[in-house]
Structure 1
Amino acid sequence: MFVSRFWYFLLSAAVGLVLAVMYLLQDSMNDGLRKNVDDLVQADFAQVQSSLKLQARGHLDRLSEITASEPLREALLPLAELSVLEPPGTPAAASTTPAETPPAANPAPPTEEQIRRMTGTLRGVLGDILKARFQDLRRPFLLALNRHGEVVAHEGSFPPPEAQGAEFGLYGFPSVRAVLRGYERDDIWLVRIKGKTFMYQVAGRPVVHQGKYLGAVLLGRPIDDEFAQEIREEAGLSAQLFFFAGNTVVAKSVRPPAPAAKDAEPAAPTPEIEPQVIVDTVAREAKDWLAYARQPARPLVDVGNGYRGMFAPLRGEAARGGAGYLVLRPVVAVASPWTVLKEASQQSLAKVPVVTIAAICLGAFLLAMLWIYLERDRPLAFFRKQALVLKGKENERFNAYLFRGKYRQIAVDINAAIDKTVKAVAASTKAAGPDVAQILGPAGSSLKLGSQPIAGFDDEDSAAAKAAEPQAAPSQVDLGILGGPGAPVLAHPPLPTT
C-alpha cells in the first residue's frame, strides 16, 4: 500500500503546487496591474501639467491681440494715472508708481461722474472683446488695471458674487507687479472671500501706448469642476483630477471623457473617492508643504483604499497657500485565483496545450489505477476467494501463510476468533447435557452383574449400604467373573532357562 499512498501524496502535492502557482500568478498579475497603473498615473500627471502650461501660454498669445487693440488703449488712457480706490482729487501714492515710467501730470482730477463714465466705457470694450474673441472659453473674465494695479474695469466671472460691488486692487500679487513693469506672466490665484476659497488661472500682458505703460489686461478663468473636466477632455484622460487648496477640494473631475469617435462606446465610470480622503492623503504625504513644493520629484502615493495617485503644487503664488492638483486612478486587482481563469481571453485559451495536458492526466490516472489494483484490489480478491473456501468447509481455518501484509494479520485474527468460538460452544454443550443419575435411574439402584455392582456405577449411598450389610460368601460364578479367589488360575508354561 505504500506505492498507492505515495501516489496520493503526489496527487496532493500536485494539487497544492497548482494552487500555489495560481496564487503566485494572481500576485504577479496584481503587481503587473499596479505597475501599469503607476505608469498611467505618471503619464496622466505629465499630460495634465503640459495642458495647464499650454493653456496659460495660449491665453498669453491671445492677449497680445487684445492689448494692441486701439479701442482698449484709448479707453484705458484716461484711467492710467487715476486711483479709483481714493477719493477724487487725492493724488495717487507715489510709492505704487513704477519709477521707470513716471505718471503724467493731471492738474484737473476727474469727478466721480466722469470716472463712472470712463470705467463704463472701458467695461463695454472688455465686454465686446469677450464676446468676439473668447466664446470658446468657459466662464472667462477680463480685468483692466491702471498703473497702480487697481482694477478700473472688469467683465466676466470675476470677482465672485461674494465680492461684487467692491473696488479692489491686485498690486499685491507678484505676477501683477511684474506685468505692470512690462513682463508677460501667467499665474494661479488663490482667493478667500467670506470663508470660501476660489482658484483662478490668470495670464497678463501690459498695455503700451506711445511708448508708455498705461496698465495691464488680465485674462483668467475660474478653476472649477468644468475647468477640471475640460483639462481631462483635452488630454483624453480617464484618470480622475482634483484641485485642492489646504483642507478644501476646490474642483474635481471624475466623469470619464467623451469618446473621440461618434460610434465609440463611452468609458466606464470609475468609482468616486471622497474629497476628505484627498485632503488627508496630501496632509500625510506632504507634512511640510513648502518643502515638498521645492522637491523636483513627485512620488506615487496610495490614496484611500485601492487608488494610486500623484500630486504637485500649482505654479505661482497659489502654491504658497497649499494649492495643488492630484491625478488619481483606481487600481484594478485580481480578486481571486479563479478570476484568472474567468478573465482569460479566447486567444490565451487557444494557446493552452490541451492534448498534452489531457495525455498526462490520463497516463497518471492509469498508473494510479494499476497501483491500486496491485496493492488493494488483487489481495482483496484473493482474500475473498479464501473466505469462500472457508465458507464451503473445505478448510476449517484460514491458512495465514497464504496472505501478505495486513491480510495475514486479519486471517490470524479470524482463526483466533474461530478457535475461541469452538471452545465456547463445547463448554456450553457439556454444561447443558444429562448426568449419569438421570440416565441410570433412581439413586438407590445400581447396575449389577450377578451379586457385584459394575465398577464405576455405584454412588456413595449404595456403597454405604453395602458396607452395612453382612458379607456373603461369593459364589463360584461371581468369583469367576470378577476374578476372585475362586477363579481358576491359568497355568503358564515354564520360562525357558539358559
Structure 2
Amino acid sequence: MILSRFWYLALAILLGVSAFTLMLAAQMYNRSGLRAMSDSLAADSSAVGWYLKDDARNRSSALIPIALAPELRGQLAKATPEAKPSREIRDEAKKSLKKLDGDVPADLKFDALWAVDGSGRVIASVGIEHAEDWELGGYPVVADALHGWIRDDAWVWKGRIYRVVARPVEAEVNGEPVGAVIGVKIVDDKFAQGVSKRTGSAVGFYADGARVASWAPEGFDKANLDQITQDLKQLEDNKDYQEKGRSEPRVIASHLGVVYARMPGEAWDLGAGYAVGRLAVAVDSPLDFLNKADDTDKKNVPTIFVIVAILALAGVGVFFSVLEHTQPLATFGKEAIRLAKGEVDVLAPSKFRGAYKKIASDINDGIDKIAAKGGAPRRAADLEQVLGPIPAAPTMSAFAVPGPGETSSTAIPVPNSAPAAKPLPKALPKPKPRPGSTTQDPVESIPEPEPEAAPAPAAAPPPLPKAAAAEPAAPAAEGDEVDELTEWQRVYEEFVAMKQQCGEQTAGMTFEKFKSTLQRNKDALVQRHGVTRVKFTVYAKEGKAALKASPVNK
C-alpha cells in the first residue's frame, strides 16, 4: 500500500500548495486592487475639485452679459440712493433680469438670479421669490461683489447646498459698483450627474450629516454612496480632513473606498462637502477569479495542458489504486469463495500482498482456534496451500494434521540430513526429571541400530498407503512411565527406517538434531494445549516419511 499512501500524501501536499498559492494570489490581487483604488480616488477627488472651480468661473463668465446690460445698470443706479426703491424700479429691474436670464447658455443655467443695489437690497429676482425688504449684503460673497470683486461661494440653506457666484454691476466701466448680480445653482442629483459625467467619478454631496445629491457612472451602484452618511461621524477625528479639507482614501464597506473633501466658503464651516467613491477590484475567494475573468483571460489559459495534467494525475492514482487495492481485493475474494466452498482448508498468505497477507494469516489462526475449541477434526493441510509453491527438494521433510477419528495433533517439520553424519550414541544420557516427579528414571542403554540393507537399484520402493502410520511400539507395563528419550530413540529409528523404505536420503541424520526438533514441538504443544505429554508417530505421506505429534492428557 506504500505507493497509494505516497500518492495520497503527494496529492495532499499538491492540494495544500495549490490552495496556499491561490489564497496568496488572492491577497496580492486584492492588495494591488486596493492600491490602484486609492490612487484613483485621489485623482477623482482632485478632478471633482477642479471641476467645481471651473464651473464657478464659467458661471461667473455667464453673468458678464447680465452685469453689463445698460437697462439693469440704470435701474440699480436709480435704486441705490433711494431709501425705499419704488415698485416701478423693481418691476423694470425684474423684467430686464428675466430677459437676460433667458440668454444664458443651457449648460450654465441658474436656478436663481438676484440683482441687488449698492446697499445689498434685492431689487429683482428670478427663480426664487422673496420679500421686498430682503437683503443679501451681509453675505461675504455679496459684500465682496459690491466692492468690485468677482467671487464664488457655497451656501447651506434648509438642508441644501447652493453654488453661488457674484459679479459687480458698474454704472460706468471701471466706475464704482452700483449693485451686483448673483447667480445660484442648487446642488442636486442633476448637478451631481453633470459632475460625474465630466469627471467619470462616483460623487456624492453631503450637508448636515446627510447625503443631499449623488450620481455614479455606469457599473457603479449609486446606493453605495448612501454609506458615506454612516462614516461622516468618523471624520471629526480625521486630522487630514479637519486641517487640509481632504481625507486620505478610506475603506468603509466591502471593497468600497471613499475620499472626502470640504466645499469651499461658508459651507466649509457648516460641514458640507463631497465624497468620491470607487469599488476596489478584488476577489472574495480564490474561486472568485473565475467570475472576475473575462473571455480574453480564459482564452489565454493553456487549457489543453491543464486537462492533460489532470488526466495524468488521475491516471497515476487509478493505476496505484488498481495495483494495491482492486487486484489484491479481487484475489482475496476469489480465495475466500474457494474457502467457503470447501475447495481449500486454509487461505494461502503467499498469494496476497500487504495487509491482505496478515488478514489471511489471522483467518487461518481463527479457524485453528475454532476447530480446537469445538473438537472438530480437520484434514491434513497441504503445504503448498499454506506456503504456496515449494521447491522439488524441500528443506522440510513433512507436515501432517490428524484426520477424522484421530486425536488432536500437530505436524512436525523434520530437518534434512546434515553434511556430516555422527554415529549413534552407545548409551543415552540420563534424562532430566519431569515437572512434579521426585525420582529419576534409569537410563537405558540403546544399542546403535544396524543400517538396513540398501534396496536394489532397479527395484522401486514398494507403494505405501497415503496416510499409513508405522505400527506403534508396545505400551509399557501399566503404572510404569515410558522413558521419553527411549521413546524418542525408537521414533527416530522408525523414522530413519521409513525414509529408507520410501527411498529418501538418510545420510547425515543424527539423533541429536532429531531430538531437538521433537523437543521444540513438544514445548509448543504443551504450552498451547496445557498437556503433560506429546506422542510422536511415524507415517508415510505421499511417498515420504512424516511425523505426527498428538497431545496426551495423562
Normalised by the length of structure 1, the TM-score is: 0.66
Residue 204 of structure 2 aligns with which residue? 242
Q: Of the candidates 148, 161, 179, which is equivalent to residue 182 of structure 1?
A: 148
Deviation at 1:185, TM superposition (A): 1.0
Q: Of the candidates 161, 173, 176, which is equivalent to residue 199 of structure 1?
A: 161
Instruction: Write the deviation string for residues 227-272 of structure 1: whole angstroms up to 9, x where unpaired.
Output: 222222333x251x222222343x313364xxxxxxxxxx356151
Q: Determine if contact 2:160/2:207 at 8 Å carries over to the other structure.
A: no
Aligned partner of residue 243 in structure 1, secondary structure: strand
Residue 272 of structure 1 aligns with which residue? 223
Q: Take 1:283 and 1:38, find their aligned partners in 2: how far apart are those partners?
A: 21
Q: Take 2:339 and 2:176, find their aligned partners in 1: how far apart are those partners?
A: 130
Residue 317 of structure 2 aligns with which residue? 368
**Residues 1:227 and 2:208 aligned together:** no
Q: Take 2:238 and 2:220, find their aligned partners in 1: how far apart are those partners?
A: 34
Q: Take 1:428 and 1:288, find their aligned partners in 2: how far apart are those partners?
A: 96
Identity of aligned residues (%): 29
Q: Determine if contact 1:83/1:148 at 8 Å carries over to the other structure.
A: no
Residue 254 of structure 1 aligns with which residue? 215
Normalised by the length of structure 2, the TM-score is: 0.60
Aligned partner of residue 182 in structure 1, secondary structure: coil
Any residues of structure 2 matched to 1:335-354 within 5 Å, and which? 335-354=284-303
Residue 51 of structure 1 aligns with which residue? 51
Give, as a single letter, the amino acid of the residue that structure 2 aligns with 1:125: S
Q: Are residues 287 and 371 of structure 1, via their aligned partners in 2, closer, same or farther at CA, if it must alter by over 3 Å?
A: closer
Q: Take 1:358 and 1:66, find their aligned partners in 2: how far apart are those partners?
A: 74
Residue 130 of structure 1 aligns with which residue? 101
Deviation at 1:117, TM superposition (A): 1.2
Residue 146 of structure 1 aligns with which residue? 117
**Residues 1:209 and 2:159 aligned together:** no
Q: Are residues 391 and 212 of structure 1, via their aligned partners in 2, closer, same or farther at CA, if it must alter by over 3 Å?
A: closer
Aligned partner of residue 299 in structure 1, secondary structure: coil
Q: Take 1:305 and 1:23, find their aligned partners in 2: how far apart are those partners?
A: 18
Q: Cα RMSD over matched residues?
A: 3.3
Aligned partner of residue 319 in structure 1, secondary structure: helix
Aligned partner of residue 202 in structure 1, secondary structure: strand
Q: Determine if contact 2:196/2:215 at 8 Å carries over to the other structure.
A: no
Q: Determine if contact 1:157/1:222 at 8 Å carries over to the other structure.
A: no
Higher RCO structure, 1 or 2 (CA under 8 Å, sep 6+): 1
Give, as a single letter, the amino acid of the residue that structure 2 aligns with 1:205: R
Aligned partner of residue 134 in structure 2, secondary structure: coil
Q: Determine if contact 2:154/2:161 at 8 Å carries over to the other structure.
A: yes
Q: Take 2:272 and 2:346, find their aligned partners in 1: how far apart are those partners?
A: 98
Q: Determine if contact 1:398/1:415 at 8 Å carries over to the other structure.
A: yes
Aligned partner of residue 294 in structure 1, secondary structure: helix
**Residues 1:358 and 2:307 aligned together:** yes
Deviation at 1:29, TM superposition (A): 3.6
**Residues 1:323 and 2:287 aligned together:** no
Aligned partner of residue 348 in structure 1, secondary structure: helix
Residue 17 of structure 1 aligns with which residue? 17
Q: Are residues 168 and 12 of structure 1, via their aligned partners in 2, closer, same or farther at CA, if it must alter by over 3 Å?
A: same
Q: Are residues 172 and 288 of structure 1, via their aligned partners in 2, closer, same or farther at CA, if it must alter by over 3 Å?
A: farther
Q: Determine if contact 1:281/1:304 at 8 Å carries over to the other structure.
A: no
Q: Determine if contact 1:180/1:216 at 8 Å carries over to the other structure.
A: yes
Aligned partner of residue 288 in structure 2, secondary structure: helix
Q: Take 1:67 and 1:148, find their aligned partners in 2: how far apart are those partners?
A: 16
Residue 139 of structure 2 aligns with which residue? 173
Structure 2 unaligned blocks of 5 or more: 379-404, 406-554
Give, as a single letter, the amino acid of the residue that structure 2 aligns with 1:214: V
Residue 334 of structure 1 aligns with which residue? 283
Q: Take 2:100 and 2:117, find their aligned partners in 1: how far apart are those partners?
A: 18
Aligned partner of residue 159 in structure 2, secondary structure: strand
Aligned partner of residue 148 in structure 2, secondary structure: coil
